[in-house]
Chain A
Amino acid sequence: MSSTGVASTTVGTAAASSAAAARTVRARRPRRRRVGAVGANPVARTVAFVLATVWLVIVLFPIYYMVLASLRTQGEYLSGDPWLPVGGLSLSSYGTVFSATGLGTDFRNSTVVTVATIILVVLFSLGAAYRIVRRGSRFAAVSFRLILFGLAVPIQAIIIPIFIFCVKLHIYDTLLAVVLAASASLIAVAVLLMVNYLRAIPRELFDAMSVDGAGEWTTFTRLVWPLARPVLGVVSIFAGLGAWNNFLIPLILTQSNSNTVLPVGLFRVASTSEYGIDVPVVMGAVLLSVLPLVLLYIGLRRQFVAGLGGLAIR
């Protein structure tokens, strides 16, 4: 519900700008900040280390279990050791995931939905945030208030009208419906992230642009777009995570197998009698579904953390 969380400290610290906004934007490398002298006590440090390691184990053990289970056949899974890699390993479950479960289609659908959602959310929210930051008219002010109001509305509470709306528009059971609903559910936070960021652009820069005779469009392409680039990445990751992992929206808005996205597909595979009991196949499918995100996370950790911070605005 707030931007005091991660969002404002990661996105917003760049806001502490002075005249040289461009330089501020570029200087967003994480500095080693001094956080204050606490841990001088060795006992306390050791206790903290031990407890933190316990949580590390709690985080990792189900994931390790999933990885190991996915490397078994059904028979090996039932007879083998669930925690030690003994008693036969194979990649056969991954083969089954690809060939038999239909998750390949889901994978493609998820990719389409995610890319489309990212494009829609980033472009729309950038345009909106630019106008909100400019404070040009009452229309912009009212729009911003409406967007902020919508932040408080949980998607579960309005999923029935959304469903009916999609049926009446004849887009029920299409990926378009999923893209539109997912984008709408993400766009308020995206606008807020962008507004917090663009506020850092000093008014003088806007004024200088208009003194030079630049119109609103030129101001956008020459000033706002180049300065906003870092936050575009953050918003893309926020929107991409939301679209890739969303469950309720595609569950309600799609029906046929050809329009299923990954989270719903995983659920479908796990609840069919054919694969539901085949734990290795289910685990392999879950791992494959998260693999693209893990790879991105390794490459873009800082942007990911900032993008996850977008959730803090909810």
Chain B
Amino acid sequence: MATASAVLSKERAAKPLRSPRSARRRKLLLADIAGLSPTMVLYGAFILVPVVFALFLSFTSWDVVGKLQWVGFANWSRFFSDSGAHHALFVTLELAGLSWLVETPLAMALGLFIAGTQRYRQVYAAIYLVPLLLSTAGIALMWSGVLTPAFGGLAWFSTHLNLGFLDRNWLGSPSLALYVVVAIIAWQFVPFHALIYQAGRRAIPAEIYDAALVDGASLSQTFRYVTLPQLRYTIVTSSTLIVVGSLTYFDIIFILTQGGPGDTTRVLSLDMYDTGFLQTEFGYASVLAVVLAVIGIAVALALIRITGFGKMDSGREGIW
């Protein structure tokens, strides 16, 4: 289609010259608008504008019914002296850290296991994924049945097998509740992360293992010097998802403990929900929401920057 017209359209791009090239461009732009605007309108209205609006709301005082008032940094200074919110922030970070500690080794071990192509391992893998089909609400209710004191499934072991330590008020005990929540979240999400590790392990070329075998590497040496370094990007992916996911965890805690007993499992997202939707303090709740988002994005960015991971990935070019 001629270099001449290309030069021309470059020279006078601004003029309404109807060269075949600029007509083609207009057509492409119209097609782009037609193809993208449904997504962008929906996405803009429900995701992008709310991001800006959440930030705006954090400087206001509003209960939806009354008048919106600009209060400057009042909400923010309240946050910095609100010990309840600080505690919620601490519990949130504790939950994220514990989840990472529990889920990462389990998911890696299981992922390596189901990366094997043996038939029975594939059957195991298929069953491992079943928790991912259940809704979080369903999982919470299921576990509340298992953990019910006296009548529940675990309590049975204490009476019949003399395992007295299993009959406890699992979700009602301030010293246990958070750990029980971590365990249930692990039950739900370890299979998913195992799936990530399975894919990571399968992407490692078999030749490297052949070489290690020839060199007489032991099993633990192979893991230490081949598998682990080869999985580094998988570890970053999975860890980011675990940490960011736990930071915003809401459903299970809302259903199982409502933040209790006391405030031992009261995470930031629950604090935000209570402040916003029960006490209708949308301004202050927006502060908590913004804090939640900023921490989540910061953790994700930090993990990705530290490991230089972003450069490796073509799926997300341009944002990090």
Q: Which residues of A contact B (CB under 8 A)?
A: 1-10, 12, 32-41, 44, 48, 51-53, 55-56, 58-63, 65-66, 69, 77-78, 81-83, 120, 123-125, 127-128, 130-132, 134, 136-137, 139-140, 143-165, 167, 180-181, 183-185, 187-188, 191-192, 195-196, 215-217, 220, 241, 244-248, 252, 262-264, 266-267, 270, 279, 282-283, 286, 289-290, 293-294, 297, 301, 304-305, 308-309, 311-314
Known: A1-B240, A187-B42, A245-B136. A34 touches B206 (CB 8 A): yes
Please tell me if the beta carbons of B209 and A52 are within 8 angstroms of each other in the complex: no
Main secondary structure of the interface of B (DSSP, over half): helix
- A5 with B300: CB separation less than 8 A: no
The answer to whether A290 and B133 touch (CB under 8 A), given A81-B156, A248-B250, is: yes
User: Looking at the complex, which one of A81, A130, A158 makes contact with B35 (CB distance below 8 Å)?
Assistant: A130
| Docked-complex contact B135 and A244, CB < 8 angstroms | yes
In the assembled complex, 23 residue pairs joining A and B whose CB atoms fall closer than 8 Å, in A order, are A4-B313, A5-B234, A48-B113, A56-B127, A65-B142, A82-B153, A82-B156, A136-B29, A149-B319, A154-B296, A157-B293, A158-B47, A165-B50, A167-B64, A180-B42, A188-B43, A216-B27, A245-B138, A252-B277, A282-B141, A297-B129, A312-B192, A314-B241
3 closest residue pairs by CB, A with B: A36-B209, A3-B315, A184-B46
Indicate if B148 sits at the interface (CB-CB under 8 A).
Answer: yes
> Does chain A have a CB within 8 A of B203?
yes
Q: How far is the CA of A139 from the CA of B201 in the complex (A)?
A: 38
Find A134's partner among B28, B51, B129 (CB 8 Å cutoff): B28
Closest to B142 in A: A66
Chain B residues within 8 Å of A309, by CB: 195, 199
Interface string of B220-243 (1 = CB under 8 A from A): 001000000000011011101100
Complex contacts, A262 vs chain B, CB 8 Å: 135, 137
Binds A, one of B5-13, B75-83, B283-291: B283-291
Q: Are A147 and B234 in contact, with the CB atoms below 8 A?
A: no
Question: Which positions 137-160 of chain B face chain A at CB distance < 8 Å?
Answer: 137-138, 141-146, 148, 151-153, 156
Q: Does B306 reach chain A (CB closer than 8 Å)?
A: no
With A and B bound together, what is the CA distance between A136 and B129 in angstroms?
Answer: 40
Question: Chain B residues near A305 (CB, 8 Å)?
Answer: 129, 195
- Residues of B contacting A245 with CB < 8 Å? 134-138
Give B contacts to A, CB under 8 Å.
Answer: 25, 27-29, 31-36, 38-40, 42-51, 53-54, 57, 64, 106, 109-110, 113, 115-117, 121, 124, 126-138, 141-146, 148, 151-153, 156, 187, 190-192, 195-196, 198-210, 213, 219, 222, 233-234, 236-238, 240-241, 244-245, 247-248, 250-251, 255, 269, 272, 276-277, 282, 285-286, 289-290, 292-293, 296-297, 300, 304, 309, 312-316, 318-319
Bound form: Cα–Cα A184–B42 in Å? 6
| Alpha-carbon distance between A35 and B199 when the two chains are bound, in angstroms | 11
Cα of A143 to Cα of B272 in the assembled complex, Å: 30
A186 to chain B, nearest CB (A): 10
- Kindly list chain B residues whose C-beta atoms are within 8 Å of the C-beta of A131: 31-32, 35-36
- Decide: A160 near B129, CB < 8 A? Known: A136-B31, A183-B42: no
Residues of B within 8 Å of A151, CB to CB, are 316
Which residues of chain B are near A181, meaning CB under 8 Å? 46
| B316 partner residues in chain A, CB cutoff 8 A | 1-3, 148, 151, 192
Q: Give which listed residue, A69, A124, A167, contacts B145 with CB less than 8 A.
A: A69
Question: Can you name the residue of chain A whose Cβ is closest to the Cβ of B156?
Answer: A82
Q: How far is the CA of A305 from the CA of B128 in the complex (A)?
A: 11
Q: Are A266 and B137 in contact (CB under 8 A)?
A: yes
CB B246 to nearest CB in A, in angstroms, measures 11
Contact (A55, B304) CB under 8 Å given A65-B153, A266-B141: no
How far is A184 from B47 in the complex, measured between Cα atoms in Å?
A: 7
Tell me whether A184 and B135 are in contact (CB under 8 A). Answer: no
With A127-B38, A146-B40, A311-B192 already in contact, the answer to whether A38 and B222 are too (CB < 8 A) is yes
Chain B residue contacts of A241, Cβ below 8 A: 132-133
Q: CB < 8 Å: which of A1, A7, A155, A163 contacts B304?
A: A1
Give the shortest distance, in Å, between A136 (CB) and chain B (any CB): 3
Residues of B within 8 A of A59 (CB): 127-128, 130-131, 187, 191
Residues of A within 8 A of B292 (CB): 154, 156-157
Are A35 and B315 in contact, CB atoms less than 8 angstroms apart? no
Known contacts: A33-B202, A62-B153, A252-B277. The answer to whether A283 contacts B31 by CB under 8 A is no
Task: Please measure, in the bound complex, the distance between the C-alpha atom of A4 and the C-alpha atom of B314, giving whole angstroms.
Answer: 9
Nearest A residue to B190 via CB reads A55
In the complex, A147→B317 CA distance in Å?
A: 12
Pairwise interchain contact B315-A63, C-beta atoms closer than 8 A: no
What is the distance, in angstroms, from A45's C-beta to the closest C-beta of chain B?
Answer: 9
| CB pair A248 B251 closer than 8 Å | yes
Q: How far is the CB of B64 from chain A (nearest CB, A)?
A: 6
Q: Is the CB of B130 within 8 A of A63?
A: yes
A3-B315, A62-B153, A279-B148 in contact; A150/B47 too (CB < 8 A)? yes
CB distance B46 to A308 under 8 Å?
A: no
Considering the chains assembled together, what is the distance between the CA atoms of A252 and B277 in angstroms? 8
A11 to B, closest residue via Cβ: B315
Q: Is the CB of B46 within 8 A of A136?
A: no
Question: Which residues of B are found within 8 Å of A266, using beta-carbon distances?
Answer: 135, 137-138, 141
Q: Are B195 and A164 in contact (CB under 8 A)?
A: no
A69–B192 Cα distance when bound, in Å, is 27
Contact A125 B39 (CB under 8 A): yes
Whether B315 lies near A10 (C-beta < 8 A) is no
CA distance A140 to B25 in the complex (A): 13
Contact across chains for A216 and B33 when beta carbons are under 8 A apart: no
**In the bound complex, do residue B152 and residue A82 qualify as a contact, i.e. CB atoms below 8 Å apart?**
yes
Residues from chain B with a CB closer than 8 A to the CB of A252 are: 277
